[in-house]
Structure 1
Amino acid sequence: MDIIAIKFKCCDTYYGCYFCHEETVNHEAVVWPKLEWHTKAILCGHCQTELSIHQYLNSGYACPSCKSPFNPGCSNHNHLYFESASE
């Protein structure tokens, strides 16, 4: 189980995952471009700390504030949220 929420660029709203977004809205998700990875778009569900995308991607799958573990399996879906490093 994961404890983060991701703010979707397309609607500036936090969702637990892309499935939650798809079930709630009637528009396509938009990935965060690399140039905007300084944006706070990750929310720790344990301590409510907002992380930038850079902070999240470099967190080692734990909140830098409260040290609560994040689900490392979420990295399998990064391409749905964040522009690829090779783009």
Structure 2
Amino acid sequence: MTGRRAIPAPIRVGEHLVHGLPVDAQTRCVHWATELDVLAILFPCCDRWYPCHDCHAADADHEAATWPASDGAREALLCGVCGSTSTIDAYRATSRCGGCGRAFNPSCARHHHLYFD
């Protein structure tokens, strides 16, 4: 046994599969599970949705890549409440979903360096 946590099957949020260690249908995961942790990100290195960088590290067989600043128009954020996606630029400009208005965790901004250049 390697000590790695068993990875559950991906969950479906809207039209997207979210990988990693989600604990509910709104993309909360074992690492981040507050009422506001309802956001997943598309990782550019593997084109897969994950709730957080720790979920990517637990599931992927490669290092995570960050989104280049030039990709701000890319639909790379997924609301776990309504299943709508938003661009990186739109996400960084607000702390709410553009589709349903749900608030996202404002503390996520402390981790932007893990996802965006």
TM over 0.5: yes
Letter in 1 for 2:92: L
Letter in 2 for 1:67: G
The root-mean-square deviation of aligned C-alpha atoms, in Å, is 0.6
Letter in 2 for 1:52: T
Gaps of 5+ in 2: 1-33
Which residue of the other structure, out of 15, 18, 21, is the alignment partner of 2:53?
A: 18
The equivalent of 1:30 in structure 2 is 65
Question: Any idea what the Cα deviations from partners look like across 1:42-76, whole Å, max 9, x if unmatched?
Answer: 000011111010010012x1112211110001111
The equivalent of 1:55 in structure 2 is 90
Give the TM-score taking structure 2 as reference length.
0.68
Please identify the structure whose Cα radius of gyration is greater: 2
Gaps of 5+ in 1: none
Q: Which has the higher contact order (CA 8 A, sep 6+)?
A: 1
Letter in 2 for 1:50: T
Letter in 1 for 2:103: P
Measure the CA separation in 2 of the matches of 1:80 and 1:8.
11
Measure the CA separation in 2 of the matches of 1:64 and 1:29.
26
CA shift for structure 1 position 9: 0.6
Structure with the larger helix share? 1
Instruction: Give the aligned length.
Output: 82
The equivalent of 2:111 in structure 1 is 77
Secondary structure in 1 aligned to 2:64?
Answer: coil
Structure 1 stretches (4+) deviating beyond 4 angstroms? none
Measure the CA separation in 1 of the matches of 2:87 and 2:101.
16
Secondary structure in 1 aligned to 2:111?
Answer: helix
The equivalent of 2:38 in structure 1 is 3
The equivalent of 2:24 in structure 1 is none
The sequence identity of aligned pairs, in percent, is 41
